[in-house]
Amino acid sequence: MKVLVFAAHPDDEVLGMGGTLCLHAAKDEVRVVCVTDGSSSQYPGDAAVRERKNDEAKRAAAVLGVEDYVHLDLPDMRLDTVAHVELNAVVEEHVRELAPEVVYTAQPDVNADHRALFESVAVATRPAPGQPVRGVLTYAPTSSTEWTPAATNWFVPNWFVDVTATIERKLEAFACFETERRDYPHPRSERALRAHAEFYGASAGCEYAEPFVLVRNVQRG
């Protein structure tokens, strides 16, 4: 199976679905596409930080077993300034090239980049004749999705993946992000990530789980 994962920022996919991504990488053809440079808003003009974050993301992908990692350079925290049709074209290019059966993207939450990317993924994966994508799911990057006001776009998962076998790999991958790690009780901490997986594991009847929203699934006849 071919799996395509979109991230707005380096670490989105590790925070939200690192354990699931590791499971896919062990048996499927996987590509991860991070669409923004990941640093130009936080660290404007600092090429060294940008390169460091890119290196962190590649190392994290390698820990999870992902070999096909693509890091683009659209403006971090400013995807809403990119014309919708231009972002659509970026997403559509990878959908067309890989022809995945399953696509993941971040939940359209309080982060405007996540919302803009979700809208373009929705366009690129619309179920027109000949569309290879059968399943579309959103994942929940911690320190973003859980901070979203209920009136905006509340995350109500209806799909869970048992990541008991890969939770340690997820935590190892996140440890690569030295620029993004924070002390507990911040959500971007090892303890918080483990607690998050424990909570959803208890919700799904296993030790550790990652939650998703199944946007669409087309069952093969």
Instruction: Give the integer Cα–Cα distance in Å for 8 and 12.
Output: 7
pLDDT given at position 151 = 62
Return the closest-CA partner of residue 162 out of 210, 199, 196, 202. 210
Return the closest-CA partner of residue 142 out of 74, 194, 104, 76. 194
DSSP state of 207: S
Contact 124, 63 (CB under 8 A): no
Q: What is the CATH number of the domain that holds 91?
A: 3.40.50.10320
> For the segment 107-150, what is each residue's pLDDT rounded down to a tens digit?
999 999 999 999 999 999 999 999 999 999 999 999 999 988 87
What is the residue whose two structure tokens read 């799996």?
Answer: 3
Residues in the chain with pLDDT < 70?
Answer: 39-46, 151-152
Is the pTM higher than 0.85? yes
pLDDT given at position 53 = 84
User: Structurally, how many domains does the chain consist of?
Assistant: 1
Give every CB contact of residue 165 below 8 A, 6+ residues apart in sequence. 23
Instruction: Give the integer Cα–Cα distance in Å for 41 and 68.
Output: 26
Residue type, 103: V
Return the closest-CA partner of residue 211 out of 196, 191, 194. 196
Q: Cα–Cα distances in Å, from 126 out to 89, 95, 129, 130, 134?
A: 14, 11, 9, 10, 10
**Which strand (E) or helix (H) includes residue 93?**
helix 84-98
> For the segment 11-28, what is each residue's pLDDT rounded down to a tens digit?
999 999 999 999 999 999
Q: Which residues pair with 2 in a beta bridge?
A: 29
Q: Which residues pair with 82 in a beta bridge?
A: none
Instruction: Give the integer Cα–Cα distance in Å for 25 and 67.
Output: 8
What is the residue whose two structure tokens read 């190392």?
Answer: 59
Instruction: Give the integer Cα–Cα distance in Å for 129 and 3.
Output: 20
pLDDT given at position 180 = 86
Domain of residue 26, residue span? 2-217
